[in-house]
Amino acid sequence: MRRLLVATLATALTLAGTGVAAQAAPAPGAPGIGDSYYPDYGNGGYDVSHYDIRLRYTPATDRLTGTTTILATATQDLSRLNLDFVLDTSSVLVNNRPATFTRQGDHELVVTPARTVAKGGALTIVVQYSGVPSSKVAAGYTAWIRTPDGAAAVGEPEIAWWWYPSNDHPSDKATFDVSVSVPDGVEAISNGVQPRPPVRETLGYTRWSWRSLKPQATYLTFLTVGQYDITQDTTSDGSPVYNAYSQLLPQDFRDAAQASVERTAEITDWESTVFGPFPFEARGGVVTPPGTLGFALENQTRPNYSSAFFRRGSNTYVVAHENAHQWFGDSVSVRNWQNIWLNEGFASYAEWLWSEKNDEGTAQEIFDYVYSSYPDDAAIWTTAPADPGVDELFGDAVYDRGALTLHQLRLAVGDDDFFEIVRTWTAEHKYGNATTEEFTALAEKISGKDLDALFQAWLYTPSKPALPGAARALRAPSAPKSWAAISATHQLLNEH
């Protein structure tokens, strides 16, 4: 940013000195989009509208070759731009002319187009590449997961770097076409709908095509390859459901997984009655091989689940959690990673509501249990959900205290206003991005109440909030029936 300002200033001075009307010279786009936690994630200077990702992947060697075409618009007069990417790039075209490119840091690809692009101008960027994703380390690890029979590109916040070049930040969403050629007999699964069935391509390879019709964040775009059984159905409103189960699942895991994930349409239909209309064109879930993915992720339209969620039997709580993210995280996305409690607090609270609906413990009973069961010096209390820091980005304060906060809000404003706040939130920010401050302002607007003290105590203060009034009993309540499933789910979710 400093270099950009200096360059612009120097140009302005030169032009002023010669009496020429001042006009900003084309400048490099910033290497980061401005995230306070991850300053070099995403990039400045352009806005992506569509990714066309066309790959070939061979599980035996973990070798990926591909061409990604990015459609974007310059948001400034642009002399240079960054993409976030770690595979080996062989060529970059910008608007049909070869561009020069170089690596910078551990995940930046710096691209200099042959011609500058004026603000508002269209960019068509074509990147050709190859590599073995599991051999690439960035941000201190390898997010790409190689499995015995394929791979899973599933991760948060980092994953895109290992398989396609992008403007990798939730605040630049786009539509996607993902098309992958894999050896015959191997399945390749991604988000959205299948615009065409798998087709035999070159000898021994079959191409799978997937399409996301609604704006999608880069980290929510996934690719899972391996030996999968795929089930297909349609929801009551006619949208397709695709579920995929690894053939490596032992039968008892497989049955428990299927008894949970096959209920996705039912659970999302119920969530629609609570959160507002389902925002996307398809639904489903993917259950990965044992010992591979260690968590679940709310990939848009189709979460991926670790098989471990189903090791003790069926678990609909994780299905309710990941699919609540379709509204909170996927449709309404964080503006900044600091806002992560807006995703995880709501997804956790969805589990409480699911428990309430199933007579396995009310949200109030779960609140009482969670509130009294953490020691006073636990991270849930010493971390402010509205600013957890990178180390606690997926910690208890973000998940459980986020849900505790929402329950306190519900008590303060009453059920009618609470659920109106929730549905207005998902409607007003549909397919967009939002912040904690926008949420608290909306809650005050709809309820007509001053909620500063509540949010200050629950979201912004790194200590255990006192409960309002002296009415609440302080004896330790017993665990609600749903608690074993909810806490087992959270242990896994917090591990990654």
Applying CB under 5 A, the residues found at the interface with Zn ion are 344, 347
Shortest Cβ 243–Zn ion spacing (Å): 19
Strands 283-287 and 296-297: unpaired
- Residue 407: Cβ-neighbour burial (10 angstroms; 0-12, 13-18, 19+): buried
Q: Is the dihedral of CA 152, 272, 434, 176 positive or negative?
A: positive
Residue 330 or 344 with smaller CB distance to Zn ion = 344
Give the span between the Cα atoms of 396 and 384, in whole angstroms.
10
Q: Yes or no: say if 167 and 40 are a contact pair by the CB < 8 Å rule.
A: no
Give the span between the Cα atoms of 42 and 33, in whole angstroms.
5
Place of tokens 């949420």: 439
Question: Would you tell me how many other CB atoms lie within 10 Å of the CB of residue 43?
Answer: 27
Residue 89 or 307 with smaller CB distance to Zn ion = 307
* Chain residue whose CB lies nearest Zn ion: 347
Q: Shortest CA distance to 306 belongs to which of 257, 241, 247?
A: 257
Shortest Cβ 315–Zn ion spacing (Å): 14
DSSP symbols for 441-490: HHHHHHH-S--HHHHIIIII-SSPPPPSSS-S--SPPPPPTTHHHHHHHH
In the numeric block, which tokens belong to residue 209?
């095509």
Residue 308 or 347 with smaller CB distance to Zn ion = 347
Name 51's Cβ contacts closer than 8 Å, sequence gap at least 6. 68, 69, 70, 71, 164, 166, 174, 175, 176, 177, 221
Shortest Cβ 280–Zn ion spacing (Å): 17
Residue 77 or 344 with smaller CB distance to Zn ion = 344
DSSP symbols for 243-257: EEEETTS-HHHHHHH
Give the span between the Cα atoms of 79 and 110, in whole angstroms.
11
Name 189's Cβ contacts closer than 8 Å, sequence gap at least 6. 208, 210, 222, 223, 224, 225, 228, 230, 242, 244, 286, 302
Shortest Cβ 217–Zn ion spacing (Å): 14
Shortest Cβ 478–Zn ion spacing (Å): 26
Residue 28 or 157 with smaller CB distance to Zn ion = 157
Shortest Cβ 210–Zn ion spacing (Å): 22
Residue 113 or 303 with smaller CB distance to Zn ion = 303
Shortest Cβ 347–Zn ion spacing (Å): 4
Residue 145 or 398 with smaller CB distance to Zn ion = 398
Shortest Cβ 212–Zn ion spacing (Å): 20
Shortest Cβ 413–Zn ion spacing (Å): 24
Give the span between the Cα atoms of 129 and 55, in whole angstroms.
9
Residue 129 or 399 with smaller CB distance to Zn ion = 399
Residue 149 or 344 with smaller CB distance to Zn ion = 344
Shortest Cβ 119–Zn ion spacing (Å): 37
Q: Is the dihedral of CA 83, 88, 94, 98 positive or negative?
A: positive
Residue 168 or 344 with smaller CB distance to Zn ion = 344
Give the span between the Cα atoms of 11 and 17, in whole angstroms.
10
Residue 344 or 400 with smaller CB distance to Zn ion = 344
Place of tokens 């992720």: 297
Give the span between the Cα atoms of 309 and 287, in whole angstroms.
9
Cα→Cα distances 130→63, 388, 409, Å: 7, 37, 50
Shortest Cβ 320–Zn ion spacing (Å): 11
